[in-house]
Structure 1
Amino acid sequence: MKYDLTKKVTKGAQRTLDAFTSTTLELLTEKPFHEITVNELCERSNYPRATFYNYFDDKFDLLSYIWLCLYNMIQLDDYGNLDSEERLYILFDRAFDLASANQNILKSILRHHSERDFLYHHFKMHLNAKIRDFFVMESCRYQYDIPYEIVVDHYCNTALLILEWYFFKQKGGTKVQALQYLKFLLGSIKTEA
């Protein structure tokens, strides 16, 4: 991303980022991601192409920014002394709430995107990277009998499987059920003390 998010974002920059984000989400409810063009994003957002390219390298960069925004909406600022598994449960709980609150948008987007297309895989890759961050601490590496990279992939895939079941496949159910399923499917893979 060309815009430096490590610095304080100005009101004007935030307005621009928000416009491109909301326009992208709006367009995703109308057509597949691969059919969306930068020209279309700029036209709908009422910004020139030069402004778009001041912020993003391309539409894929914008999509990564959107995933980052979604992730920031569901993460806690401070997980304190919680272990990686508990952090994942909190993250899952908040992701479930966000998906529940935006079911209509999700349904509209899913009309044009399946779990087999680019959008889903890009999201999964981004979420996997964020979950991996939970496990990079040295203390986490030694809690498992198997390589922690496998644990990370397992946790990510299981959380996504349940979210997919509830929201992409629209099977319904409660958040309490979803958390129970997650805990059951993850089981305990930590090393016994």
Structure 2
Amino acid sequence: MKYDLTKKVTKGAQRTLDAFTSTTLELLTEKPFHEITVNELCERSNYPRATFYNYFDDKFDLLSYIWLCLYNMIQLDDYGTLDSEERLYILFDRAFDLASANQNILKSILRHHSERDFLYHHFKMHLNAKIRDFFVMESCRYQYDIPYEIVVDHYCNTALLILEWYFLKQKGGSKVQALQYLKFLLGSIKTEPDIRNRH
């Protein structure tokens, strides 16, 4: 992304980013992503093409920014004192709430995008990467009797599987039920204290 998000975002820049984000989500409820053009995004957002390219390389770059925004809405501010499983359940809880609050938009978008489409896979790829980043902490590496990378894969894939089932595949159900599924599938993969330092 051309705009440096590591620096404080000005009010004007935030308005521009918000406009392109909301316009993209609106257009995704109307048509497949591959049919959306930069010209259309600019016309709907009331910004010239030059402004778009000041912020993004292309529409795929904009899409990655949108996924980042969604993730930031569920990210924990302070999770350093929690173990991996606790962080997972809190993150899952917030992700479920966000998806539930936006179910109508999700349903509209999914009318134009199947699970075989680019948009579906692009979203899953970005969310998976962010969840992995969320878990990779040195302090947690010795809590398990198997390589930590396998633990991270297991947590990420299981959480995504259930969120996908409920929202992307639109199977529905309560958050309590979803958390029960998550706990059942994860089980307990922690080790006893005396064997935690093997890896």
Once residues 144 and 134 of structure 2 are traced to their aligned partners in structure 1, the CA distance between those partners, rounded to angstroms, is 14
Shift of 1:179: 0.7
The structure with the larger Rg is 2
1:65-113 C-alpha deviation (Å, 9 max, x unpaired): 1011001101121114001211111111011101111110000000111
Higher mean C-alpha deviation, range 61-70 or range 78-87: 78-87
Once residues 186 and 129 of structure 1 are traced to their aligned partners in structure 2, the CA distance between those partners, rounded to angstroms, is 19
Once residues 49 and 175 of structure 1 are traced to their aligned partners in structure 2, the CA distance between those partners, rounded to angstroms, is 42
Q: Counterpart in 2 of 1:128?
A: 128
Higher mean C-alpha deviation, range 163-172 or range 104-113: 163-172
Shift of 1:143: 2.2
Question: Equivalent residue of 1:119, what SS?
Answer: helix
Kept in 1, the 8 Å contact 2:3–2:54? The answer is: yes
Shift of 1:116: 2.1
Once residues 10 and 107 of structure 1 are traced to their aligned partners in structure 2, the CA distance between those partners, rounded to angstroms, is 33
Q: Given the two structures, how large is their TM-score scaled by the length of structure 1?
A: 0.94
Question: Equivalent residue of 2:81, what SS?
Answer: coil
Higher mean C-alpha deviation, range 79-88 or range 97-106: 79-88
1:18-58 C-alpha deviation (Å, 9 max, x unpaired): 00000000111111111211111111111111100100111
Q: CA RMSD in A?
A: 1.3
Kept in 2, the 8 Å contact 1:84–1:134? The answer is: no
Q: Given the two structures, how large is their TM-score scaled by the length of structure 2?
A: 0.91
Q: Counterpart in 1 of 2:52?
A: 52
Q: Counterpart in 1 of 2:15?
A: 15
CA 1:175/1:187 → structure 2, altered by over 3 Å: closer, same or farther? same
1:132-172 C-alpha deviation (Å, 9 max, x unpaired): 12332222222223332222222222112111221222222
Higher mean C-alpha deviation, range 127-136 or range 80-89: 127-136
Give 5+ residue unaligned stretches, structure 2: 193-199
Once residues 155 and 115 of structure 2 are traced to their aligned partners in structure 1, the CA distance between those partners, rounded to angstroms, is 18
Kept in 2, the 8 Å contact 1:135–1:148? The answer is: no
Shift of 1:118: 1.3
Kept in 2, the 8 Å contact 1:143–1:191? The answer is: yes
Kept in 1, the 8 Å contact 2:75–2:91? The answer is: yes
Give 5+ residue unaligned stretches, structure 1: none
Question: Equivalent residue of 1:134, what SS?
Answer: helix
Once residues 177 and 165 of structure 2 are traced to their aligned partners in structure 1, the CA distance between those partners, rounded to angstroms, is 12
Higher mean C-alpha deviation, range 69-78 or range 144-153: 144-153
Stretches (4+) displaced over 6 A: none
Q: Counterpart in 1 of 2:70?
A: 70
Kept in 2, the 8 Å contact 1:128–1:152? The answer is: no
